[in-house]
Amino acid sequence: MSEGVRILPVVLSGGTGDRLWPLSGEEVAKPFLRLGSSHRTMFQDAVVRVQDTELFSSPLVVGHCDQKNLIEENLQEVRVGLSMILLEPEGRNTAAPVTIAALWAQARGMDYILVMPSDTMVGDEAVFRDDAASALRVCQDTQEIVYFGIPPERPHTGYGYISCDGPANENGGRRVQVFHEKPNEDEAGDLIAAGALWNSGMFMIPVRGYLEDLQGIDPALLHLAERALQGGHEEGRFCSLSLEPYQEFADIAFDKAYCEKTSKGRVLAARFGWQDLGSWDSVYDNAPKDDAGNVLSGPVCTHKTSGCLVRSDRALVATVGVEDLIVVAVKDAILVVRKDQAQEVKALVEKLKAEGYLKGDEAEIFDRIAE
């Protein structure tokens, strides 16, 4: 690693987290939930994780304009320094904010950015920093994007996978062969047997190399990102990005817009331990359990109950003679789902939206039910 080179961490704080409904939603996005063992929100964990000033510069946060106050409150609690907070006027998945962050970094003479979603857990932060330094070396050697791949624990159908080709270089990076988007269980098992890694959604980007490559792959995305940033309005440490280009952005993930189209990519097998708390079964898997294998939170009472996650933020929830369920109660909704069907909560949320249950305020919802 070149002397004096520091990484700009880019913390993405968007995402409503439909699979964690009814706890997460439009008002409180998934990154701002307290689901881990640190008692911080996942967003706070992400910004605290990159406070090593020898390796990282002050992080850049990208979030939705509606989350401005929530971002500020979260940052005040942990008292970390930031470069800037870029506020998106509309949600457009990850291709737009990653590209805007790269342009922001280039304008300030920063050569490498580490893109991190803020809704995942990292097990060992010291090992995370070591892996980030290794990824930077691979990035410097190859001038290619470096993905953090996670050695799979089991055939998980809620994650993407990365197949690698050929041997690792001296710093551990292997060439990307192909991306696989959330395969079924049999396909996931075959991918694991063939050496594929889970796609963590974290990656190191050489800024100049990425922007030059993107010019040939998707010049429209690059042009819109330039307009969004140039037309932004700065006030203190916030920059509100321009609305007009956002109305033209495709709603597309960075993986689809760039990663699957470029021939320039490496994978580093991460050693730091990683969990995506994107669904209730993953929350259950990573939480401490009682003698019956239950994860209980709030006013909850159980009898002859095992292997369940039962959480209430309001009314008493009592269970008798059930097993392997997820039960989540908030002020205006209750979710009951079999643990092995937790990935289907996203489809349920889409159905609730289509039928009007998640539109309007609480009174309107109950008026509809009464009808």
Of 216, 248, 276, the one marking the end of a domain is 276
Same domain membership, residue 226 and residue 181: yes
Same domain, 195 and 295: no
Q: Assess if residue 185 is contained within a domain.
A: yes
Does residue 156 share a domain with residue 242? yes
41: closest CA among 93, 116, 118, 94? 118
* Residue that terminates a domain, selected from 212, 242, 276: 276
* Domain span including residue 290: 280-370
- The confidence score (pLDDT) of residue 182 equals 85
Pairs from 100-105 (Cβ < 8 Å, separation ≥ 24)? 100/62, 100/225, 100/228, 100/229, 100/241, 101/8, 101/10, 101/60, 101/62, 102/205, 102/207, 102/210, 102/211, 103/211, 103/225, 103/226, 103/229, 104/60, 104/229, 105/8, 105/10, 105/60, 105/207
Q: Are residues 204 and 286 in the same domain?
A: no
Question: Which CATH number is 269's domain given?
Answer: 3.90.550.10
Residues 96 and 191 in one domain: yes
Indicate whether 259 belongs to any domain: yes
- Give helix then strand counts, H and E, for the chain: 12, 19
Q: Is there a single domain that holds both residue 214 and residue 349?
A: no
**Residues 6+ away with beta carbon under 8 Å from 110:** 6, 8, 57, 207
Locate 191 and state its tokens. 């991918």
pLDDT less than 50: residues of the chain:
1, 360-371
What tokens were used for 200? 């963590």
The predicted pLDDT at position 366 comes to: 37
Same domain, 199 and 50: yes
Please indicate, yes or no, whether residues 101 and 135 belong to a single structural domain of this protein.
yes
Peptide bond into 97 cis (omega under 30): no
Verify that 264 and 295 share a domain, yes or no.
no
Same domain, 269 and 133: yes
The helix/strand/coil state of 15 is coil
Surface-to-core class of residue 366, CB atoms within 10 Å of its CB (0-12 exposed, 13-18 middle, 19+ buried): exposed
DSSP 360: S
pLDDT confidence of residue 343? 87
DSSP notation for 328-351: EEETTEEEEEEGGGGGGHHHHHHH
Q: What is the DSSP letter of 256?
A: I
Q: How many domains does the chain have?
A: 2
Whether 3 maps to a domain, the answer reads no
Alpha-carbon distance of 291 to 294, in angstroms, equals: 7
**pLDDT on residue 175:** 87
pLDDT value, residue 173: 78
348 in a structural domain: yes
> Is the domain of 243 the same as that of 328?
no
Classify residue 50: in a domain, yes or no.
Answer: yes
Q: Is position 90 within any domain?
A: yes
Q: Are strands 309-312 and 84-88 parallel, antiparallel or unpaired?
A: unpaired
The verdict on residue 2 lying in a domain is no
Same domain flag for 295 and 272: no
Give me the helix-helix angle, 68-78 and 42-49, nearest 10°.
60
Cα distance between residue 90 and residue 345, in whole Å: 24
Question: What per-residue confidence (pLDDT) applies to 320?
Answer: 98
User: Taking a C-beta distance cutoff of 8 angstroms, is the pair 283, 277 a contact?
Assistant: yes
Could you say which of 276, 300, 315 is where a domain stops?
Answer: 276
At 46, is the secondary structure helix, strand, or coil? helix
